[in-house]
Structure 1
């Protein structure tokens, strides 16, 4: 405390408040009744402060300060906050009072209060604990962090920040999960905590014995071969039918059975189409039949757990089509 105020008792300080509030520089427009009420509140607050009832004293001083702005009131409000363990608020109040502009006519009491606030701020600042809150197992910018129920800005994740001494509850919410951690800090202590979100892995699906067996690679290959083979057989059947029709047309145009034709424009076009298509059926039938037979063999040789019992299949081929008949 400033030497001028340190030597004063509570009654003298209250009198100093009364003198200071009698003609405040910023109270030119305040009516006398308001000044009187502010003086009474300040005196009550100082009396409570002297008794150690800091919470009640703070309430009175704040009310007085709402009516009249005076560094003396702000100084003792800050001291109440300091005694209550609210060091961050106290330091901010000390700093505010220390920056109070004073003119040449300011009283010695006001000047002493400003000087005391500046000294108290310098002494209190290093006593404030610091806490850094980090995150593990989750994107730190997506986690909603709070300290004692008050949200913490994402920009402060992992950054050391001032907190009041005492017990604190740190919470983080992300992905429908909440992680909590309690921590107690002493004055001047600096520490860090990490909110760890456990790695949640997807459960591995294991089919029960009663569940149907999953398709195997052999089943997929078998049906693929059957489908491809059937398509080739159908292609062979269609082109065989078209070729037979073209052969009949050529006979009608005067060609021999061995397709020796007279040289006419109509004959040339039909003969060209016939020669192009007649090369397709045989390879298509051969490849289609082989693929279909291979696919059926794969399906019939599957493990019994992967196919229904009694599965049978046989390919069929005709000049007009092809397919697979059976039970699978």
Structure 2
């Protein structure tokens, strides 16, 4: 019996020895945390909130039960304009204060919730959408240098104010990059489109029947026909003008000049009218020929141009044919259009 009693005492002693360092370790961690907390308070009073946050974070990591460090972190972030980070830490403080039994933290959960709600109008949000790239495993989004969980695409995320960089990696040579300058209360939505993949070699080798078809010859012929008609019309107009000028000059010459041997004898002051009449007569003949040739050529080209659609002949026999011939007319050159059916 005594043997078992001695064994029991030995086991209890070992258990007590094993548990003894735990409180000592906890006490040492709390002391270190208090030192870091005091350092953080000094930095904050000196206006160095960024460095103070680092000290408070270390204190909180060593001794999570010290909620004062978390509260100072939230307050410093709010002073720095990091409203999204401050809201997250205020909410963490609210949850931790509700779970704490320390009397000194009484009422802290209400304070934290109030600060959390007060920053709702100041915080900025960012929503990222990706269009395209379905089924492509290499498509991923990186936000501020950190990979973004695909489940967060399309979700409004609170982010601190300032510039944010969104990168879309899709397997190309370089990512698609979008930069957003987030302001207080701003709600930004960014949509990134994944470029379509390049066509495969098989797709490149396949010929499109419509694309491979030769160009329509009727287009060029019809265009030339309309151009010729335009030239002919211009020649006709110029002919009318030249005839009108010749008529005016002829009238002045007949009134002021005398005829001798079939020719007009004009005084010096009417010599210009006489020369103008002769020039206008020559130009009228030239323009008349250009007009006739242009109109005849234009009509011929339009008749001979393919219609662009296969049509069956209206009757059995010789195909329709047209020809333009030039012949000498009394007083100039003429044209004759022959159409045979």
TM-score (norm 1): 0.47
Higher relative CO (Cα under 8 Å, sequence separation at least 6) belongs to 1
